A and B are shown apart, each in its own frame.
Chain A
Amino acid sequence: MHRVVRLLRRAVDALRRAPLVTAVAVATVFVAVLVTGLFAAILGGGERLVAAWAGDVPISVYLAPGADVAAARSAAERIAAGRPVDPVTGAEALARLRASLGDEAGVLDGLGDDVLPASLEVRTAGLSLSGTRELAARLRGVPGAAEVDFGATWLERLATLLARARTVGVALLVAVAVATAVLVSNTLRLAVYARRDEIEIMKLVGATDTHVGAPFVVEGAMQGLAGAALAVATLLGASAALLPRLRAALPLASRIGRADVLPGALVAALLVGGVGLGVAASLLSLRRFLRRA
Chain B
Amino acid sequence: MDRNLAADDKTGNLCLVKTLLFIIQSDPYATSKVSDAIDMAYAAAVFEIEVAVLFSGAALSCLLQGHQSRLLDKKSIEKKILALPIYGVDELRYVVDANSPFASMLAGIADPLPESEQAAYMAGFQEIQVF
Tell me, yes or no, whether A binds B: no
The chain B residues found within 8 Å of chain A, CB to CB, are: none
| A contacts, CB < 8 Å to B | none
